[in-house]
Amino acid sequence: MLDFIKERAPWEMSNHEKIEEKKYDKAADYVSEDVIFGDDELKLAKTLRVSCWLNGAACSLKLNDFQEAIKLCSKVLDVEFLNVKALYRRAQAYMEIDLVMAELDIKKALVIDPQNRDVKLIEKKLKQLQAESNKRDAKLYTNIFSKKLKVGKVENEKQDEAVAMEIAAATTVGSPVS
Name the residue ranges covered by the structural domains of the chain: 14-171
Predicted TM-score (pTM) of the model is: 0.65
- DSSP helix/strand/coil, 2: coil
| pLDDT attached to residue 157 | 72
Q: Using alpha carbons only, how large is the chain's radius of gyration in Å?
A: 31
Give CA separation, 162 vs 13, 150, 156, 166, 170, in Å: 75, 18, 10, 6, 12
pLDDT digits (tens, 9 = 90+) for 95-129: 999 999 999 999 999 999 999 999 999 999 999 99
Nearest to 120 by CA among 105, 133, 110, 135: 110
**pLDDT tens digit sequence for 27-54:** 666 556 655 666 777 778 788 889 989 9
Q: Which CATH class is domain 14-171?
A: mainly alpha
> Exposed/middle/buried for 27, CB within 10 Å: 0-12, 13-18, 19+?
middle
